[in-house]
Structure 1
Amino acid sequence: GKSFSLAIADGKGNIVAEHDAMIPRQPASTLKTLTAFAAATTLDMGSTLDTKTYLIQGDDNRKTVVLQGEGDMLLSDGESDPSHINGHAGLGTLAQRTAEALKQRGITQVDLLYDDSLFGQDRTPAGVTENNAEHRYYTAISTMAVDGGRTWTDMVKPANPDDSSQYPVLSQQPALDAATTFAKRLADNGITVTSGPTAGAAPSGTSALASVSSAPLNEVMAFMLRHSDNTLAQLFGRLTALKRQAGNSIKTDTQAVADTLAEQGIDTSGLQMADCSGLTPGSKVSVTTLIEVQERNLAAGIATAAAEGLSIPGLVGTARNRIVTGPDNGLFRVKTGSLDAVTSLAGNVSRVKGGVLSFAVIVNDPENQWSAIKAINVMAAKLAKL
């Protein structure tokens, strides 16, 4: 096709070859590299997202447990599994710990509330439904969810919880589903839930009964990038906006990302962000911006998590079967992008003769998308030999 942009830069970000590098185009999921960079430079990437329980003892002697989340959408429905990112924290483990704390107080019957208030009301980008067939690619960001909200009603769930290569229908009420699962796990541990789960608020100024923690944010980011998880990308945008005290909406998510890029000296000319993932129609970015993000990724200590989390062709992620076969495995770190009328790729490569290059390519409205993908693969594969 004719609507494509390409740029190749040395390790310092100097563009050495380009075509229409400043023209903004629809980027698809390469937009996630902007969100990842902004989050990695704003958040404590060694921190975790905790899911907690609290106890309210009413004047009528009723006992209420409140389940509260901070954004861990990769909870498991069973025990915590520290060997994986998805399911690192488990509702079964949280229920067991909560039940032990309740029984120490002589409590065996409770009402159950869940507090999903942290992210406000605006959680879904306007227009995302156009690229979200059957709710398989995005669900509203939530303070808690099991397995990213995947329902597995029409597909077989993989044995490896970190395998996100399939796209089952996503729950449209992930926090309620998580609370319902938690109620079942409480029952498994000898606590009867007499009513609920019902939406409510956690008490302020009191200590938690129990808690479980997600994998560190740098690992959650790697999961998001390598599996191109649209909801988790928006979640990172929201966490960035809240950390910057920018607001609590889709608009402030995207603005927080754009503002962070500008503050880091990245050229954001022509940047339009309809969301933080690239799924929603309306986003535009130049390959110059993508290249400059990659250059910052390569700079020591700036956004390490955003660089380390990229897909590695030949090994892991959405680009596992892209670009390379054999000796160049492991030399590339990239982010893919794909929509009906878009194919894109951005990343960096370790050169066989030493040094690094960064590159970005966006093709809009290709005459033949598969041919465009193959052409990008051939181009990218040659970079390691330069």
Structure 2
Amino acid sequence: MAVAAVVAVVASLVVLVRASGPTGANATSIAPAPPLVSLNPEIKDLPSGAPIPNPVALQRALADLVTAAGLGNFTGEISDAETGRVLWSSDPNKATVPASTAKLLTTAAALLTLPIDHRLTTRIVAGAHPGEIVLVAGGDPTLSAAPVGTPSYYPGAARIDDLAAQIKKSGVKFTSLTLDTSAFTGPAMAQGWHAEDIPGGFIAPLAPVMIDGSRLANDENAPRSDTPAIDVAQAIAKRLGIDSTDVKPGTAPPNARELAKVQSATLGERMTQMMAHSDNILAETIGRELVIERGGDPSFRGVVAAVTSVLTEAGFDMTGVSIQDASGLSDDDRIPARVLDKIMVAAAGNGRPALRPMLDFLPVAGANGTLEDRFDAGDRAGAGWVRAKTGTLAEASSLAG
């Protein structure tokens, strides 16, 4: 409530020019075009004279709304980001299913641990046997199979064609491809995930390398493959002319000679996409990125431990938090509204400057991402102003911003 989002409006100017007509004294003069309007949406600090939120008025305004039967098991908390003062709450300590608002915890922990320009590297190295090359997966789920120079699903994604081209230019003879996925450990599906969500387009078995988040088509909600890493290896093998039967799992030899590498977009760019479209695969791999940086176990259990530890060390009270993943897709995740509120207060107020970029990652109501068609009905009072992370599961709906 202490943060204002400024939305710039760009006007379109159409100039009609006569191709022919009178000249000289009867000629029509055309005024020079005005200077271009620059688009610079930003979040500004509150002016010193801004009104102080009134808890009594807020309670009165919300009284009928928060008791609506359609809300079911409702909890929440609202705070003034300037002071941290709680203005309104309803069972804020009760741990409930957060759905994708759990991504706020993952994002906050990553921002407190990793540089925002951190990138993931996918490498191909020389194998231990003649003619063998090894694809070393480095945690990047955004690799693109689109030709270099054409749009990719994830902006700034590394290209498979680039890897293949580097190998061909290296002069190395290759006859087989080994796939090394040892960067991730543990189960590929988290507790509380459902197998039907793979063809449903919500998730894929987690692997340290994927094409377009394992989507089977260039569409946000496309069904996912259940063999994401193998798909990448086979795509590279095809470009190199390696027979599919000569692609096998394995590990790279120690200190293997690097033959080719590509890098992902920055962490900040990936978190922007993750938050805007509530991308579960990006959330889970960013969780692995975090735990690897801390030297932990790159598994679901390790990610949960790392996220919880980082936020606890940063001073957040994690009492009541019980999560199984980094994305909030699990039915078994539980987070109190108080924790989400305190993270947003830290980002929007003066508590944790490192979390400030989170505000830029959030979808804007009536404008983009999962809020594109929210808060824009009627008088559109919230459009352009509300910035929030949505969360939706079969039996839960949440919002934090």
Q: Could you say which structure has the greater relative contact order, defined with CA pairs below 8 angstroms and 6 or more residues apart?
A: 1
Structure 2 residue aligned with 1:19: 90
1:327 positional shift: 7.0
The aligned runs of 1:259-270 (5 Å cut-off) are: 259-270=309-320
Give unpaired runs (5+ residues) of structure 2: 1-68
User: Per-residue CA shift, 1:202-239, capped at 9, x if unaligned?
Assistant: 23223411111110011111111111111221222222
Over 3 Å counting, the alpha-carbon distance change for 1:82 and 1:204 in structure 2 is farther
Q: Which runs of 4+ in 1 moved over 6 A?
A: none
1:131 positional shift: 7.2
Structure 1 residue aligned with 2:201: 136
Structure 2 residue aligned with 1:36: 107
Instruction: Letter of the 2:94 partner, please give it.
Output: I
Over 3 Å counting, the alpha-carbon distance change for 1:295 and 1:321 in structure 2 is same
Structure 1 residue aligned with 2:170: 101
1:37 positional shift: 0.7
Pick one of 221, 229, 238 that aligns with 1:175.
Answer: 229
> Is 1:336 the equivalent of 2:386?
no
Structure 2 residue aligned with 1:123: 188
Cα distance between partner residues in 1 of 2:382 and 2:225: 39
Structure 2 residue aligned with 1:273: 323
Cα distance between partner residues in 2 of 1:74 and 1:87: 9
Cα distance between partner residues in 2 of 1:176 and 1:69: 11
Contact 2:234 2:244 in 1 (8 A): no
| SS of equivalent to 1:222 | helix
Structure 1 residue aligned with 2:146: 78
1:83 positional shift: 7.0
1:81 positional shift: 5.6
Cα distance between partner residues in 2 of 1:133 and 1:57: 35
Instruction: Letter of the 1:21 partner, please give it.
Output: P
1:342 positional shift: 0.8
1:127 positional shift: 2.7
Instruction: Letter of the 2:114 partner, please give it.
Output: L
The structure with more radius of gyration: 2
Structure 2 residue aligned with 1:282: 332
The aligned runs of 1:318-329 (5 Å cut-off) are: 318-324=370-376, 329=383
Scaled by the length of structure 2, the TM-score of the pair is 0.75
Contact 1:296 1:302 in 2 (8 A): no
1:260 positional shift: 1.2
Structure 2 residue aligned with 1:354: none
User: Per-residue CA shift, 1:163-190, capped at 9, x if unaligned?
Assistant: x2xx222111101001111112223xxx
Contact 1:130 1:281 in 2 (8 A): no
Percent identical across equivalent pairs?
A: 29
Structure 2 residue aligned with 1:306: 358
| Aligned Cα root-mean-square deviation (Å) | 2.3
- Higher strand proportion, which one? 1
Structure 2 residue aligned with 1:355: none
1:22 positional shift: 1.7
What count of residue pairs does the alignment treat as equivalent? Answer: 325
Give unpaired runs (5+ residues) of structure 1: 159-163, 348-386
1:240 positional shift: 1.7
